[in-house]
Every structure is written in structure tokens, then in C-alpha cells.
Amino acid sequence: MIRIGGATGYWGEADLALPQFLGEGDLDFIVFDYLAEITMSIMARAKAADPEKGYATDFVTAIVAPHLLAIADSGVKLISNAGGVNPEACGRAIRQLIEDAGLSLKVAVITGDDLMPKLDLVLGSEPAEMFTGEPTPPREAIASGNAYLGAFPIAEALNQGADIVVTGRCVDSAVTLGACIHRFGWQRDDLDLLAAGSLAGHLIECGPQATGGNYTDWHEVADSLHEVGYPIAEIAADGAVVMTKPKGTGGCVTIGTVGEQLLYEIGDPAAYYLPDVICDFTQVSLQQIDTDRVAVTGARGRGLPAQYKTSMTWADGWRAGMIGFYVGARAAEKARLFADEAIQRARRKLSKMGAPDYIDVCVEVVGDESHWGEAARYVRSREVAVKVACRHADRRATDLLMRELAGVGLGAPAGFCAFAGTRPKSSPVIRLFSILVDRDVVDIQIHTADQAQSFEDSQAIQSAVHDLAQDAVGNDTAAEREETAVATDDGTERIEVPLERLAWARSGDKGDKANIGVMARKPEYFPWIAAALNESYVASRFEHFMASPEMDRYVLPGLPALNFVLHHALGGGGVASLRNDPQAKGYAQILLDTPVSLPAQLLED
């Protein structure tokens, strides 16, 4: 068995984890996940300004530097995708710290994910975006282009004696799976084992989201979240996983916390694509085996994808926005008039200048009963927040609306207030463009202090698993999925309760898609939850958010749970969106007040 701690889930997260893990004293690996699509574009701009930047500097300054001696004494190995768009510079900075400290730790850097030097080859056929079908963006607008690498190069770096492994863009779970492959000798055709290791990586890749953070039952851990424990995955050679956390830390590890994280930001649970394996999580089950210990079993591997997913970020104009508050009677009406007044003034000036109108303008009045749609249960509020945002190809136009919003105050309805400070500034709109590229396009290398060694990924896959990649989804995974248990009316007394009483839920984003995972607190509740949350109901609940009614509903009978994927539901997603919730963090909370009717006896039991 090995013990792996998940220390970060994004660039900028609090630095609580490493002291916890070093204090625990018996971890084999600590993994760090820093990267998201928008993070890559920020790092690309940093590298353009300074060739020695473009990586997660926090990993060097806040993680390695202050804890270097403790890391060396403990023998724990660090694996991180902190390299961003400049992993070699990150590696150099860490090696310098090690040299200055007089230590002999070995650093390995994995490169090859950056496809910007091969942009003409990658985009030669003008591929369409793999999810939306949008055309290839202008070449000059592309800021970054990175293939999502897998775990086997990480395992090889560890095989060569690396104490610290730094990668560029790899899938989030690969830092965990790489440690498993290294320690247990898993091979490319050990698909179920690779799926189990990938699931363990998925469960710890978002740090304390598996230990009480963003938890439906947040009130159970409210007193200890200030010292929330970060997750530890105990992984056995046969793929068995136990989730836990350091002793004496806050939060909790329960079927609910682990189940919510399992459902977070997945699509089809029977075909969860990763570079090393196509996972099937539909039969995964969770068991509370002790306090803060949850056993995870049942992940399956269906095959290997023939290509790498590659994500590019590109600049598509400018956006700006501000938030203010209105108080008093008819607050929402006054807030909308305030916003409309400024927008009309800005548009009038654009017209006089012969400039085009805004690409998009968004006004959201949070606290108004109409903000979350007709299904939301709000009463008319005497205090609301008003957010006004816009998008335009020209920065001067977005700056113009911000000036008008700042300047309209004395002529607006009474009751406006705002936190004092500088006027909001325009920022670039960064869009995501994802495609598939053949594996042989990617040249992976493992760099140590004195050499660079090629890693042959595509040839190894072809020789190891032959046609598994082609067979993986050709078997029609839908035919093997279990049908949803059916709720039947046997004439017993019914009671109606909010979904939150029957289920845990968590939501997240992938580009312009939102996912909402809903897991029954008891298997007996699941048929009634599934009956209430049919596709038409969920679509109607979020229709005011969705640009189109396209939606998928998936069943995970092992938990049991449902996963909903709402397409075109985030206004473009990320920083391309003008919405208050461009990452769907609140979508599960909206769904949790759904009324569900079920036999009263089930609740009494």
C-alpha cells in the first residue's frame, strides 16, 4: 500500500496541506494540482513578459522553499503540474533551492505537452472544436496550446530516482496514477487498475473538496473548516482505495464527501476519458469502514483513447464588470433602472462614434426572486446586489461602460451603495478551444539536471494494447448500463420533502457545460429521487441559464447517483462568461430544494 496526499486543487489555494502531511509523517507521495485552462493562459502571458516565468511560482516559494529540509528528511516524493507553460524554468528554480541548501534531491521535469511550436501541424486541417463545433480561431489570437499528458512519463521519472517531479499540462489525476504505476509496476493493459488509480487521483485532485469543503452538509463541519484536513488516498496494489485525512484536522471523510467529489466535473460516468485509460465509474461503491475512512471499490477500465485531448486558449476581445448594491423598497426595480441607465448612455456614445454595439451585456440582480428562475423560492428583497458586465472587441468600449456606471450615481434611483475603491478594469476574454491530436505528434521528454531523455508514448501503447483503443467505446457502453430503479405507487402514505433531505449534490463546469451530480443518502431513496429528477424537470429548472435545451442524464447505480450534464449552460464558461456563476458552483444548491414525494415509511425507517 502507498499513501498519497492531495495538497492543492488550483493555483492560489491556501498552503495548509503540506504541514499537515509532513506532520502525519508516513506519506509516500504528495501531489499538487495547479492547472486549469484559464491558468494556462495567464501563465502564457507571464512567460511572454519574462522567459523565466509561466509556472506556478507558489510551488517554489510557498511549498518547496520553506519546507525543503523537512521534505528531504521525510523521504516523501513530490509530484506537481506546477510547471504550467514553462516546466523547465520551474525545475531550474527548484534545483537552485536544493543546491543552495546543500542537499542532493533529484528533480525531473516532463515536457512535450506544449504544442505551440507545432501549431501549424496541429491546426493544418482547420479542425472544429470537439464539443461545440466552432471553427478554428485565428492563429494570432492563440495564447496557449497543450496536450493533456498521462501518468506513464511521471512513473518513468520516479523509476529513474526523481524525488520531485514537475510536469506541464497533464490530466489532474495523472500525478496520483503515476505514483501507483511506479510503485506497483502496473502495465498499460492493466485497465481496471489504471482506472482505480485514476479514480483515487480524481478524489484527491481538488484538495479538501473530499474532506468537507463545498459539502452539502456543511453545517456538520462548520466549526472545523478553518483547519480542514486535506485528503489522503491509501492505495493498494490490487486497486483498493481508502480515503482518509491527517489525524487531528478539521472537516470529515464520509460517504457523502467522497461521493460528492467522485461526481464532481465528470461527464458520462461509463466513459470518463483519460490519456491512460477510459474509466467506467458506474459500479463504484463506497463504504464507511471507520471514522474518517471510506473504502472505494468498483472502478473499471474500458480501454485506451487513441489520441490526446488538446486545449488551446485564445483571446476574443475584452470584458469588464462591476457589482453594486441597492437597498430599500423596490430594490430590484431600482437596480435594474440603474443598470439600464448606464447601458443606454454607453450605447448612445458608441453609436455617435460609429462603433459597433456590445457583443454581450449581462445584468444580474442577485436577491431578486427572478434571478434564479421561476422555480426559485425567494421573497421580494429590500437589499439586492446588481452586477453589470459587457463584452466588446475593443477595450475602449468596455472601459466606456465602466465609466458610465461610475458616473451615473447622482442621477440614479436612491439607495445605491458600493465598496469604495478604484473603477473596475477591462480584462481579456479568454476562450477555450479543444481538439484531439494523434499521440505521435507529441514529443515527451524527461529532463534531469544533466540530460533529456525521450519517452515513447505512442509506440508503447500500440505494442502493449493493440486495438483496445478502437474497441473501448465500440462495445456501446450504453447497452451495459443498468436501468434506473423505478418508483412504484403501492398506495402507502406519501410525504413531500426537499431533495437535500434525501441526497447529497455537487456541481461544476467543463468549458460551457455544467454538471450536477446527485447521490442518494440511502439506496431506498434513489428510485424516488430519479422519478422526480427526470430530464424534463431538470431542463425546466435551468432553462433560464441554458442557451439550448441539450442535456444528458446518466445513472451510477453503484453509489447510487445521477449525473446531469447541461450543455451551453454557462454563457461561454470561465472568463468568457459574464455571469456571476460561470463555473456552475451554485447549480447543485438550486436543485437541492426540489420537492420529492416518497412513502413516509421510508423516512421513518
Q: What is the CATH number of the domain that holds 356?
A: 3.30.70
Residue 477: what pLDDT? 45
Residue 370, pLDDT > 90, answer: no
Residue 380: what pLDDT? 65
Residue 482: what pLDDT? 55
Mean pLDDT for the stretch of residues 360-379: 70
Residue 605: what pLDDT? 75
Residue 468: what pLDDT? 44
The verdict on 263 and 393 lying in the same domain is no
Q: Please tell me which residue, 259 or 14, carries the higher pLDDT value.
A: 259
Q: How confident is the model at residue 37 (pLDDT cuts 50, 70, 90)?
A: confident
Q: Which three cell numbers stand for residue 418?
A: 458600493
Whether 475 is covered by a domain: the verdict is no
Strands (E), 41-85: 77-80
Residue 478, pLDDT > 80, answer: no
The CA-atom distances, in angstroms, between 570 and each of 462, 479, 510, 536 are 38, 31, 9, 19
Residue 459: what pLDDT? 64
Residue 279: what pLDDT? 97
Residue 55, pLDDT > 80, answer: yes
Residue 186: what pLDDT? 98
Whether 142 is covered by a domain: the verdict is no
CB atoms within 10 A of CB 38: 17
The verdict on 419 and 457 lying in the same domain is no
The verdict on 395 and 301 lying in the same domain is no
SS3 per residue for 273-323: ECCCCEEECCCCEEEEEECCEEEEECCEEEECCCEEEEEEEEEEEEEEEEE
Whether 138 is covered by a domain: the verdict is no
Residue 213, pLDDT > 80, answer: yes
The verdict on 404 and 456 lying in the same domain is no
pLDDT tens-digit readout, 144-180 = 999 999 999 999 999 999 999 999 999 999 999 999 9
The verdict on 240 and 347 lying in the same domain is no
Q: Which single residue is written with the C-alpha cell 468537507?
A: 212
Total structural domains within the chain: 3
Q: How confident is the model at residue 491 (pLDDT cuts 50, 70, 90)?
A: confident
Whether 346 is covered by a domain: the verdict is yes
The verdict on 178 and 74 lying in the same domain is yes
Q: Strands 595-599 and 494-498, how do they pair?
A: antiparallel
Residue 531, pLDDT > 80, answer: yes
Q: How confident is the model at residue 463 (pLDDT cuts 50, 70, 90)?
A: low
pLDDT tens-digit readout, 273-316 = 999 999 999 999 999 999 999 999 999 999 999 899 999 999 99
Q: How confident is the model at residue 473 (pLDDT cuts 50, 70, 90)?
A: very low
pLDDT tens-digit readout, 310-341 = 999 999 999 999 999 999 999 999 999 999 99
Provide φ and ψ at 548, rounded to 5°.
-145, 155
Task: Say which DSSP state 441 is in.
Answer: G
Residue 138, pLDDT > 60, answer: yes
Domain that holds residue 104: 2-113+148-305+451-470
Buried b (16+ CB within 10 A) or exposed e, 238-249: ebebbbbbbeeb
Residue 460: what pLDDT? 64
Whether 311 is covered by a domain: the verdict is no
Averaged confidence pLDDT in the chain: 92
The verdict on 337 and 287 lying in the same domain is no
Q: How confident is the model at residue 132 (pLDDT cuts 50, 70, 90)?
A: confident
The verdict on 91 and 169 lying in the same domain is yes
The verdict on 301 and 422 lying in the same domain is no
The verdict on 38 and 181 lying in the same domain is yes
Residue 485: what pLDDT? 73
* DSSP SS3 for 584: coil
- The share of the chain scoring above pLDDT 90, in percent, equals 84
Q: How confident is the model at residue 371 (pLDDT cuts 50, 70, 90)?
A: low
N residues, the chain: 605
The verdict on 187 and 220 lying in the same domain is yes
Whether 412 is covered by a domain: the verdict is yes
pLDDT tens-digit readout, 57-93 = 999 999 999 999 999 999 999 999 999 999 999 999 9
Contacting residues for 136 by C-beta, under 8 A, at least 6 apart: 123, 126, 127, 128, 433
pLDDT tens-digit readout, 383-440 = 999 999 999 999 999 999 999 999 998 999 999 999 888 889 999 998 999 999 999 9
Whether 310 is covered by a domain: the verdict is no
Q: How confident is the model at residue 462 (pLDDT cuts 50, 70, 90)?
A: low
Whether 374 is covered by a domain: the verdict is yes
Question: Are the C-beta atoms of residues 284 and 255 closer than 8 Å to each other?
Answer: no
State the Cα–Cα distance between residues 24 and 9, nearest whole angstrom: 20
Residue 377, pLDDT > 60, answer: no
Residue 373: what pLDDT? 54
- In the beta sheet, which residues pair with residue 555? 562
Residue 604: what pLDDT? 85
- What is the Cβ-side half-sphere exposure of residue 18, based on CA atoms within 13 angstroms? 25
* DSSP SS3 for 589: helix
Mean pLDDT for the stretch of residues 236-248: 98
Q: Which single residue is written with the C-alpha cell 436501468?
A: 483
Residue 268, pLDDT > 90, answer: yes
The verdict on 457 and 415 lying in the same domain is no
Question: Are the C-beta atoms of residues 63 and 32 closer than 8 Å to each other?
Answer: yes
Residue 479: what pLDDT? 37
